[in-house]
């Protein structure tokens, strides 16, 4: 009969013996487990380190913006008269402000309708924006007598009214959804029979943004919305508010603007006019607290990441144990590269500040940064505009018509001479038809085919008799209002050029071209024009030929990636541009080399993960071997049990036989 369990035949604890033998054989696996635990701990530590470095990079990116260090405070002596704000290009000063009138937008109101949902009519509404001049205005009727309307040449806009939107509400919604620069609303004036009135308001205020509305289609739609103050025009809406400009003085200089929000009077300063007043003072001062906060934020960001680097790599004398990444060369390299960057000087500034210690930022013995606020304040007082260059990537030009647009990682700091051999120009076409005596447009000569910057459009001019100036404005409005052109970003300015018209593309460079290709109005208003294509800016940066696209000149060589905007001026030497890469900018790029997909930490983590995979493979192989060892051991002990059992049985048999022998006595 077979033995049912190991050890029965031999009386040995076979299971215990096999388990102990296997434990001896399993010791290499235990070593592998310990190695894997250590590697996993390092992977976790590198993950924590990557998070800390990413946070540091985010802080550096935030401080790479020069405006963080060129902040200004702006205040108004009377906040009910005007509010004011300042940007990084402002200048500390005080300004006297006198406000005479505020800008306001025109409001036009239709006659009352019995229902807001009833059908009015179908057709096309064409909106033009311009200035109403001359004549007299009746505030009771809301209509002009003897006035004129001159388009501002911006763009005419159209809205289609059909069976889906031909009620008063539908017209309102169609105008609003078209986003044409006109806001529409409905008011109920309480009239018993026809209380619903449509109110139209240009979204832009100012005297040059009054409305002219042309209507084609059903008479009912025209009777409701046609509006033209010109002699012979129809005024079916009442003007309840007259468009007007803001008029004010800054330091005694008279200024007129179409908006109450003005940002082009004082460089870097935005004024929001609130009410007329005889006098108040606007004050712009350096925001030194923002500079202090920005530098403090930089110091804190470094100290935070430095603490993390130290924590994962230091030796703890109290516990006499090293951190998980103690002695790791990649951590030392990261820490050293960051410190070396902060200890270096910034090249290419062209100013008085080139190092952090000049603004009170210095290293302590423990490797952290400290900030001397008094020294920083002195730097702010004496070199305010240079502080930004210590942190951000900044380009400063000596020519006001040469401005710094940007750079890339390949741009090397330095001072680069700028020389222009060709200034960018706009494409234009000068007409051949004499329009100085005026032109009459009718249905027989009202279409004009044009191509602007390679985009074609067909214009339909409004019928009427035009002076040369009015004709230029009409054509400009139609071109700029053509959807095919505006959607492509193409626009023009049209002006009288002697006795003819000149159409100029608003785009610069080789892609800028204006062509009048036909139409029934070509002979009447333009003829066969003389076309001149635009050209790109050309020149050198740092003595090396640069690439021009439009008005943008991009450098090569050491200036590779340096982008300058050349807005005019003459050919020849145009001064120089000082370019610097500040500490925050450099650290942003440096940390990216650590935490990026191909960075140091990714490489180390990938290597550690590979080690984990190798250990797993080794463990699997050892476990497979142990399975064989266990099977062999159990087979051997089974054989031993069987053999011992046979010996025992033989012994018992012999004992019995001997006992039966005569004279045998068992002792």
| Tens digits of residue pLDDT in 240-297 | 999 999 999 999 999 999 999 999 999 999 999 999 998 999 999 988 888 888 888 8
**Confidence band, pLDDT 50/70/90 cuts, at residue 660:** confident
Q: What is the pLDDT of residue 2?
A: 44
Residue 634 has pLDDT above 70, yes or no: yes
Give the start-end residues of each E strand in 399-460.
402-406, 414-422, 426-430, 439-441, 447-452, 455-460
Neighbours of 258 (CB within 10 A): 18
> Of the given ranges (218-222, 335-339, 442-446, 637-641), which has the lowest mean pLDDT?
637-641
**Confidence band, pLDDT 50/70/90 cuts, at residue 350:** low
Q: For tokens 């009777």, name the residue.
A: 223
**Confidence band, pLDDT 50/70/90 cuts, at residue 1:** very low
Task: Quote the CA–CA distance of 269 and 278 in Å, as a whole number.
Answer: 21
Residue 349 has pLDDT above 70, yes or no: no
Q: Do you know the residue count of the chain?
A: 667
Per-residue tokens: 337: 């590269």
- Of the candidates 224, 225, 218, 147, the one whose C-alpha atom is nearest the C-alpha of residue 182 is 225
CB–CB of 577/395 below 8 Å?
Answer: yes
Average pLDDT of the residues in 110-127: 96
**Confidence band, pLDDT 50/70/90 cuts, at residue 558:** very high
Average pLDDT of the residues in 69-81: 92
> Of the given ranges (91-95, 331-335, 527-531), which has the lowest mean pLDDT?
331-335
Average pLDDT of the residues in 296-301: 89
Q: What is the pLDDT of residue 582?
A: 87
User: Using CA atoms in the order 519, 525, 531, 533, what is the torsion angle rounded to 10 degrees?
Assistant: -80
**Confidence band, pLDDT 50/70/90 cuts, at residue 664:** low
DSSP 532: E
pLDDT digits (tens, 9 = 90+) for 523-533: 999 999 999 99
Q: For tokens 């990649």, name the residue.
A: 330
Q: What is the pLDDT of residue 393?
A: 84
Per-residue tokens: 579: 């370019």
Average pLDDT of the residues in 19-40: 83
Going across the sheet that includes 261-266, the strands are: 82-86, 269-273, 261-266
Task: Quote the CA–CA distance of 180 and 480 in Å, as a whole number.
Answer: 12
Instruction: Look at 297 and 507; give whichever has higher pLDDT.
Output: 507
CA atoms within 13 A on the CB side of 576: 12
> Of the given ranges (399-413, 438-452, 516-530), which has the lowest mean pLDDT?
399-413
Q: What is the pLDDT of residue 320?
A: 67
Instruction: Look at 28 and 160; give whichever has higher pLDDT.
Output: 160
Q: What percentage of the chain has pLDDT greater than the value 90? A: 59
**Confidence band, pLDDT 50/70/90 cuts, at residue 421:** very high
What is the average pLDDT score of the chain? 90
DSSP 345: P
CB–CB of 438/465 below 8 Å?
Answer: yes
What does residue 390 show for φ and ψ, rounded to 5 degrees? -70, -20
**Confidence band, pLDDT 50/70/90 cuts, at residue 476:** very high
**Confidence band, pLDDT 50/70/90 cuts, at residue 437:** very high
Alpha carbon of 67 to those of 9, 10, 539: distances in Å? 91, 89, 30
Residue 4 has pLDDT above 60, yes or no: no
Residue 5 has pLDDT above 60, yes or no: no
**Confidence band, pLDDT 50/70/90 cuts, at residue 460:** very high
Residue 93 has pLDDT above 50, yes or no: yes
Task: Quote the CA–CA distance of 274 and 81 in Å, as a whole number.
Answer: 5
**Confidence band, pLDDT 50/70/90 cuts, at residue 8:** low
Task: Quote the CA–CA distance of 458 and 482 in Å, as a whole number.
Answer: 8
| pTM metric for this prediction | 0.72
Task: Quote the CA–CA distance of 173 and 162 in Å, as a whole number.
Answer: 12
Q: For tokens 């935005």, name the residue.
A: 270
**Confidence band, pLDDT 50/70/90 cuts, at residue 3:** very low
**Confidence band, pLDDT 50/70/90 cuts, at residue 7:** low
Q: What is the pLDDT of residue 515?
A: 97
Residue 104 has pLDDT above 50, yes or no: yes
Average pLDDT of the residues in 546-556: 97
CB–CB of 450/421 below 8 Å?
Answer: no
Q: What percentage of the chain has pLDDT greater than the value 70? A: 96
Per-residue tokens: 306: 């430095």
- Of the candidates 502, 535, 495, the one whose C-alpha atom is nearest the C-alpha of residue 516 is 502
């Amino acid at each position: 009969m077979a033995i049912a369990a190991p050890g029965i035949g031999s009386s040995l604890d076979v299971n215990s013996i096999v388990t102990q033998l296997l434990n001896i054989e399993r010791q290499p696996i235990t070593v592998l487990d310990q190695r894997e635990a250590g590697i996993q701990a390092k992977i976790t530590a590198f993950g924590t380190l990557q998070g800390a470095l990413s946070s540091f990079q985010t802080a550096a990116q935030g401080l790479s913006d020069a405006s963080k260090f060129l902040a200004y405070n702006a205040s108004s002596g009377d906040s009910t008269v005007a509010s004011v704000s300042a940007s990084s290009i402002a200048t500390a000063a005080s300004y006297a402000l006198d406000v005479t009138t505020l800008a306001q937008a025109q409001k036009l109101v239709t006659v009352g309708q019995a229902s807001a949902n009833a059908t009015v009519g179908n057709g096309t509404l064409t909106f033009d924006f311009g200035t109403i001049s001359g004549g007299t205005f009746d505030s009771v009727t809301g209509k002009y007598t003897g006035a004129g309307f001159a388009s501002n040449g911006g763009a005419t806009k159209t809205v289609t009214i059909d069976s889906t939107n031909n009620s008063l509400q539908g017209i309102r919604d169609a105008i609003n959804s078209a986003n044409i620069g006109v806001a529409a609303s409905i008011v109920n004036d309480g009239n018993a029979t026809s209380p619903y009135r449509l109110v139209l308001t240009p979204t832009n205020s100012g005297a040059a943004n009054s409305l002219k509305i042309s209507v084609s289609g059903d008479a009912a739609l025209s009777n409701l919305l046609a509006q033209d103050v010109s002699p012979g025009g129809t005024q079916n809406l009442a003007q309840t508010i007259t468009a007007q400009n803001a008029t004010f003085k800054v330091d005694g200089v008279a200024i007129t603007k179409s908006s109450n929000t003005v940002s082009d009077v004082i460089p870097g300063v935005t004024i929001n006019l609130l009410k007329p007043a005889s006098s108040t003072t606007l004050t712009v001062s350096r925001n030194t607290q923002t500079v202090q906060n920005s530098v403090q934020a930089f110091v804190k960001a470094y100290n935070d990441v430095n603490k993390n680097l130290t924590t994962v790599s230091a030796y703890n004398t109290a516990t006499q144990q090293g951190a998980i990444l103690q002695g790791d060369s990649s951590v030392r390299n990261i820490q050293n590269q960051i410190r070396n960057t902060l200890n270096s000087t910034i090249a290419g500034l062209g100013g008085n500040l080139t190092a952090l210690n000049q603004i009170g930022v210095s290293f302590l013995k423990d490797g952290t940064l400290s900030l001397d606020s008094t020294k920083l304040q002195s730097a702010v007082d004496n070199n305010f505009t240079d502080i930004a260059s210590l942190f951000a990537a900044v380009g400063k030009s000596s020519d006001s018509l040469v401005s710094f647009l940007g750079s890339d990682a390949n741009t090397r700091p330095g001072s680069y001479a700028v020389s222009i051999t060709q200034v960018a120009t706009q494409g234009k076409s000068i007409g051949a038809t004499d329009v100085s005596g005026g032109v009459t447009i009718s249905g027989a000569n009202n279409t004009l085919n044009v191509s602007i910057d390679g985009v074609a459009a067909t214009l339909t001019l409004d019928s009427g008799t035009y002076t040369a100036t009015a004709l230029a404005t009409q054509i400009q409005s139609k071109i700029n209002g053509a959807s095919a052109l505006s959607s492509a970003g193409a626009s023009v300015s049209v002006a009288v050029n002697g006795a003819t018209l000149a159409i100029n593309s608003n785009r610069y460079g080789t892609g800028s071209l204006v062509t009048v290709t036909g139409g029934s109005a070509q002979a009447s208003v333009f003829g066969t024009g003389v076309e001149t294509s635009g050209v790109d800016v050309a020149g050198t940066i740092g003595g090396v030929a640069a690439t021009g696209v439009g008005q943008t000149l991009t450098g090569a060589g050491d200036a590779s990636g340096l982008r300058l905007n050349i807005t005019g001026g003459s050919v020849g030497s145009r001064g120089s541009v000082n370019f610097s890469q500040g500490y925050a900018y450099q650290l942003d790029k440096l940390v990216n080399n650590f935490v990026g997909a191909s960075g140091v930490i990714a490489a180390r983590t990938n290597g550690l993960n590979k080690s984990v995979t190798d250990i797993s493979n080794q463990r699997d192989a050892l476990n497979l071997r142990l399975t064989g060892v266990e099977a062999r051991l159990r087979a051997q002990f089974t054989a031993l049990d069987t053999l011992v059992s046979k010996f025992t049985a033989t012994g018992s048999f012999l004992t019995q036989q001997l006992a039966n022998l005569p004279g045998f006595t068992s002792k």
